[in-house]
């Protein structure tokens, strides 16, 4: 009996072969489903894969370098600095961060040579009276120490909204050996001296007015300049290299990168400190320390280029043709499981054929071992 069961398994699994059978079903419902699915697949392959996504192209990511030049002059008149003119050398500065003072009760609380995290200098080891009620550790430092309690309202350099920024951007697509710059070949020296970027009237001018950048991000410059902030200038290069090179042009967008919501009021905005050093009339080393609340500009470049290549074209054509098999699968499901005459269609779809000679041998073996 065990041998008979084994032979039955061999006969049912090893010695079978399935071959597709073509059955022509004349049904209006099934025909409409079949054509609708085929039409949807055809629209996807042509419309989305080849037209929208350009599936016939090989693509490459952008390699970029950016430089920027700020221009603008303004003037201030304050009790601390007096009448002063500010130019590029004054307001384009890298950041530096000093510390705060340390409170003490006696000299035992101060250590000579110690530099605290929140200190403005090196401690001498002595505790000195700062006011009638407060004592602090004496330090070697620039005097007087910084007063970090006041914000300049309105913005100190409020006229900086009229400053301009020249952005120079060079891109390279190494796979296609294609280079481009945002100062387009059609831009002349005369034009560059007078143009200002505008998204509608002058979208390819590489010179931007600060106020327009901030407003394009939905912000107000005079409010933003009080505590500072970070602005993003995004340059997008999406190039179809099957077209002439002059169609490859930059697209500029702007957004504020730091968060000014009420939930983010700890250390808001953007600021930094810098100093100007000199000797006074008596020969003493002196400096003017400035805490600047400013706007930082981060320039980010994105892009993708595509060019016709036979390999992705053939791959996507093959994938599209393979998708047409989905229509057959869906129609089979409808015919075999959802239609009223599904049992009739199932009989026409599947046909079982026995091998006559092998069938006789198996019958003899079953009777012999049985």
pLDDT in tens, 181-191: 999 998 998 99
Indicate where the chain has its CATH 1.10.287.940 domain(s). Answer: 24-56+309-349
Q: Is the pLDDT of residue 271 over 90?
A: no
Alpha helix segments (H runs only) across the chain: 2-13, 28-43, 88-91, 189-194, 210-216, 221-227, 310-323, 325-337, 342-349, 356-369
Strand partners, 140: 122
Domain 24-56+309-349 has CATH 1.10.3720.10: no
The pLDDT value recorded for residue 64 is 83
Q: Are 197 and 222 in contact (CB under 8 A)?
A: no
The class (CATH top level) of 59-95+153-268+300-308 is mainly beta
Q: Is the pLDDT of residue 260 over 80?
A: no
Q: Is the pLDDT of residue 15 over 80?
A: no
**Counting runs of H as helices and runs of E as strands, what totals does the chain give?**
10, 14
Considering only CA atoms, which of 165, 162, 155, 161 is closest in space to residue 76? Answer: 155
**Range with the poorest average pLDDT among 85-99, 195-209, 218-232, 272-286:** 85-99
How sure is the predictor about 116, in pLDDT bands with cuts at 50, 70 and 90? Answer: low
Considering only CA atoms, which of 188, 181, 143 is closest in space to residue 285? Answer: 143
Provide φ and ψ at 6, rounded to 5°: -65, -45
Indicate where the chain has its CATH 2.60.490.10 domain(s). Answer: 59-95+153-268+300-308
Once rounded to an integer, what is the mean pLDDT over residues 98-114? 75
Q: Is the pLDDT of residue 111 over 60?
A: yes
Rounded CA gap, 206 and 19, in Å?
66
Rounded CA gap, 39 and 244, in Å?
34
Once rounded to an integer, what is the mean pLDDT over residues 322-335? 83
The pLDDT value recorded for residue 213 is 92
The pLDDT value recorded for residue 300 is 93
Q: What's the Cα-to-Cα distance from 146 to each of 86, 119, 184, 275, rounded to whole Å? A: 21, 11, 47, 12
Token readout for 261 is: 């919501």
Q: Is the pLDDT of residue 119 over 70?
A: no
């Amino acid at each position: 009996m065990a041998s008979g069961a084994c032979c039955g398994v061999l006969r049912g699994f090893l010695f079978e072969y399935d071959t597709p059978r073509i059955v022509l079903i004349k049904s209006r419902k099934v025909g409409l489903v079949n054509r609708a699915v085929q039409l949807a697949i055809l629209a996807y392959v042509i419309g989305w894969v080849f037209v929208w996504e350009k599936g016939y192209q090989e693509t490459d990511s952008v390699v970029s370098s950016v430089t920027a030049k700020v221009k603008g002059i303004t003037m201030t008149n304050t009790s601390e600095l007096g009448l002063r003119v500010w130019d590029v050398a004054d307001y384009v500065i890298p950041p530096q961060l000093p510390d705060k003072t340390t409170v003490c009760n006696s000299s035992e609380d101060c250590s000579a040579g110690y530099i605290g995290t929140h200190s403005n200098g090196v401690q001498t080891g002595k505790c000195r009276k700062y006011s009638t009620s407060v004592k602090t550790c004496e330090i070697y430092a620039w005097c007087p120490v910084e007063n970090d309690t006041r914000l300049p309202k309105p913005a100190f350099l409020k006229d900086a909204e009229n400053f301009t920024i020249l952005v120079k951007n060079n891109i390279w697509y190494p796979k296609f050996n294609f280079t481009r710059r945002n100062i387009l070949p059609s831009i002349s020296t005369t034009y560059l001296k007078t143009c200002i970027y505008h998204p509608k009237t002058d979208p390819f001018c590489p010179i931007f007015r600060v106020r327009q950048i901030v407003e394009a991000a939905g912000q107000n410059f005079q409010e933003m300049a009080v505590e500072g902030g970070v602005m993003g200038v995004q340059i997008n290069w999406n190039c179809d290299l099957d077209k002439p090179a002059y169609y490859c042009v930059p697209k500029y967008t702007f957004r504020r990168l730091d968060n000014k919501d009420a939930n983010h009021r700890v250390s808001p905005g953007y600021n930094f400190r810098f100093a100007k050093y000199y000797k006074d009339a008596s020969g003493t080393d002196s400096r003017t320390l400035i805490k600047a609340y400013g706007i930082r500009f981060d320039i980010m470049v994105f892009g993708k280029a595509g060019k016709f290549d036979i390999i992705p074209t053939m791959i996507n054509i093959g994938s599209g043709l393979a998708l047409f098999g989905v229509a057959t699968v869906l129609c089979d499901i409808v015919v075999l499981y959802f239609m009223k005459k599904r049992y009739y269609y199932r009989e026409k779809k599947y046909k079982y054929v026995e091998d006559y000679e092998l069938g006789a041998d198996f019958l003899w073996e079953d009777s012999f071992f049985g």
